[in-house]
Structure 1
């Protein structure tokens, strides 16, 4: 196999750490030190004149802070440099309009994380079918769940290696996110059929060929009942707390239990999304989705004092349902997974895809008789069927119409570009 048939692929893999109480305490200290370093950098940035806000001056300020504040020495020097790079990248993202301006990181609302820039420091070894071991600077040798083959030991080289990692703490404990770089064979163009996808709330994913993918409840009945009891308990304890009084440890523990159940539901939802998108990417060569502006769809209907909104509670419930389905994350998964298997993903305009008849193409008011039934009001058509499949067929039809509008020579160029693009993108 020649070098032209190979390509570099970079991806991330997250694994759960099994830390001893002593190692967990060290990791917590590094997480708080990294957050403090960020806040010190932010204060330094706001204090310095514009002409002195340089990377060299910030690096000198970090080194001086590590000498003056003993608490910051628990953070490795490379991790402190990573905080500096991340902070400057945050400002760059703000200047280019990709994100909001960096801000102060509070203790309770910030996710604790520590970066490990050098992958060679990890020294990863697989010791068991289910467990691997890695070296965390200033923490020690720790175990992590081995759920994916990683470049470790004799399988690690210049092209197949781990370039770095990041420690992240959530409600379920500490995790490690590896940054992996591999050299793999370029996939052949996927010869599977084209498919349109309509994403909804009642039916999460409906395909144009009549297939649907649905998930059950993220929490079972016992877990739901326990979540309700914990929320009621938290409300009662919060009600009896005096204004200005600090939150008690009991209330903090109740909040942690609620967050644990919600994190469990989110983890199950993420697992379902991964499995579903993998099946779709393996089956179909071209996947077409709607170009949805989700941030506008989940805006509140509360309105203003002068012009109050209507059906605010109903719209709030719909917004929660849309956010729980995470349509944007589904599209992101389909984008890189279709490219991995040699396919491609395309987006088409979303307006009227749910109200247009996929048989005759007419958009008539009142065609969507219910959430699940579509009946065309055109006298010459009268087609009826599943509303979600009808929308998915319209999505696929819009993609094919866009190809039909391109001249024959241009379509050939588009087809060649579609074959090269997945390899170049990775």
Structure 2
């Protein structure tokens, strides 16, 4: 097989860790040390003149800090270097217009994480079908859930290997995210058909061929009842807290329980999105979606004191539903999954796709009778059908007319780049 038919692929795989109580304390200490080191770097950056803000000077500063502050010694030296590189990359992203300027990391607002930059330190082995083991520096051997085959042992090599990992803590506990590099066969053109996609709230994904993908509530009725009970308990306990008084342990424990249920719902939503987008990428060669500006769609309708908004509560509920469906994440998944299977993803203008008839092409007032039914009021047409199916057919028709343009991610970079300060202002 020639090298022209092979392509390098880099992706991440996240697995749940099974830490003992002692290992949890060690990992938490490393994460707090990494956050403290970031804050020390940011303070050093603000105090230093511009000509002395170099990587070499910053490296000297953190080495001295690790000597002077005993608490930072729990963080491995390579993880400390990873914090340094991440901080400098954050400033580069800011200067290039891809992100905001880095700032201090708060104790309770920041995601706890520790980087393991070198994959050879992990020493991954598979114990049996469901569990594997990994070595975490200054923590020890830890079991993790084996849900995906990784390039370890005889399957590893120069091109197929794990290049590093990151430990991340969420409401469900500690996880490890492996950085995997593989050499795979370059996919050929996908022979599948073209399809248009309409995303919505009632019907999350509707295809132009009439197929739909729907889901139930992410939490069961029992879990929803428990979540409501915890939110009410948190509200009652918060009423008894005086202004400026620290959060009590009971209230913080209630917040942790609420975060655990919401994290469980998000994990189920991610799993559904992955399965759905994978099925679409495998079945269709050309996928067409709407170019939605979601940030404008979820803006509040509250208005101002002089001009208060209307139907504020109703609009707030709609905004929560739109954010819960995560349409942007669906498009992101479809973008790289269609490319992996040899297909392509295109975007078309969104205005009018839900109000225009897909049979005659006219937009007649009153055709959208309800959320689910579309009946064309054009006397020469009279087509009727599912409203989401009609919108998906319009999306595909716009692509066939040649109205597709660059993906939304590219436009976001262009918009952010317009707000970048000139080089002299840095």
- Within 5 Å, give how 1:361-380 maps onto structure 2: 361-380=361-380
Q: Which stretch of the first structure deviates more once superposed, 8-17 or 238-247?
A: 238-247
- How far residue 306 of structure 1 moved from its aligned partner, in angstroms, is 2.3
* Partner Cα separation in structure 2 for residue 35 and residue 228 of structure 1: 33
| Residue aligned with 2:288, SS | strand
* Other-structure match for 1:356: 356
- Superposition map of 1:164-175 within 5 A: 164-175=164-175
Question: Does residue 84 of the first structure (1) align with residue 84 of the second (2)?
Answer: yes
Q: Following the alignment from structure 1 to structure 2, what is the Cα–Cα distance between the partners of residues 315 and 59?
A: 50
Aligned residue for 2:157?
Answer: 157
Aligned to 1:216: 216
> SS of 1:402's equivalent?
coil
1:339 and 2:369 are equivalent in the alignment? no
SS of the residue aligned with 2:164? Answer: strand
Deviation for aligned residue 1:37: 0.7
Write the mapping of 1:131-280 to structure 2, written as runs, cut at 5 A: 131-280=131-280
Q: 1:46 matched to which residue of 2?
A: 46
Q: Could you tell me which residue of structure 1 aligns to residue 384 of structure 2?
A: 384
Could you tell me how far 1:350 is from its partner in structure 2?
A: 0.7
Runs (4+) of structure 1 exceeding 4 A deviation are none
Residue matched to 2:417: none
Spell out, residue by residue over 1:21-59, the C-alpha distance to the aligned partner (whole angstroms, 9 max, x if none).
111111000000010111111111111121211111111
- Cα contact 2:347–2:404 (8 A) shared by 1: no
Residues of 2 paired with 1:97 and 1:126: CA distance?
42
Alpha-carbon deviation of 1:366? 2.1
Which residue does 2:69 correspond to in 1? 69
State the alpha-carbon separation in 2 of the partners of residues 369 and 39 from structure 1: 56
Q: By how many angstroms is 1:253 displaced?
A: 0.6
The answer for the alignment partner of 2:416 in structure 1 is none
Cα deviations across residues 314-342 of structure 1 (Å, max 9, x unaligned)? Answer: 11111110110001111111111111111
What's the secondary structure of 1:398's corresponding residue?
A: helix
Aligned-partner SS, 2:87? helix
SS in 1 for 2:292: coil
Partner in structure 1 of residue 30 of structure 2: 30
Name the count of aligned residue pairs: 405
Deviation string, structure 1 residues 81-115 (Cα, Å, up to 9, x no partner): 11111111111111122111111111011100001
Q: Gaps spanning 5+ residues in structure 2: where? A: 406-426
Give the Å deviation of 1:365: 2.2
TM-score of the two chains, using structure 2 as the length reference: 0.93
